[in-house]
Amino acid sequence: MKFLSAVIALVCLVAPILGKPVGGEEILIIRSESENNADGTYRYLWETSDGTQVEESGYLKPNGNDDPIQVAQGSYQYFSPEGELIRVTYIADENGFQPQGDHLPTPPPAGGSSARAAAPAAPRQSQRPRNG
């Protein structure tokens, strides 16, 4: 019983310390706008005091006799831990999510050396020394 009381007392002492935010300054929302229309169009944006920004707009695109396609386009930006501005612009539609940004990898050009890289590698010979 004494052990259980000691554990409870320890938890009561440590819990407030662990619940505190860790370092850094408080990040505030300094701008926020939102618009939702009955025709399916929308627009929102927000910005925080640390330089993070998000903006998106969207609409319903007719799709013949099927349900309309939701199209969204926008951007977001933030600062990396190294202080570099990371910015992404995107569109999302019937072709999926298509981001663009200077920090994003680009696919290799078609043909050329990438065709060799796609070919299966030849099996490796065992490098184990032979006994005997």
State residue 49 phi and psi, 5-degree precision: -70, -15
CB 99 within 8 A of CB 93: no
Q: In what order do the strands lie in the sheet with 53-61?
A: 29-36, 42-48, 53-61, 69-79, 85-93, 96-100
- Residue 22: strand, helix, or coil: coil
Q: What confidence tens digit (pLDDT) does each residue in 61-76 have?
A: 998 888 899 999 999 9
CB 99 within 8 A of CB 107: no
Mean pLDDT of the chain: 82
Distance (Å, rounded) from C-alpha 121 to C-alpha 130? 25
Would the pTM count as exceeding 0.75? no
Q: What confidence tens digit (pLDDT) does each residue in 11-53 have?
A: 666 566 655 556 678 999 999 999 999 999 999 999 999 999 9
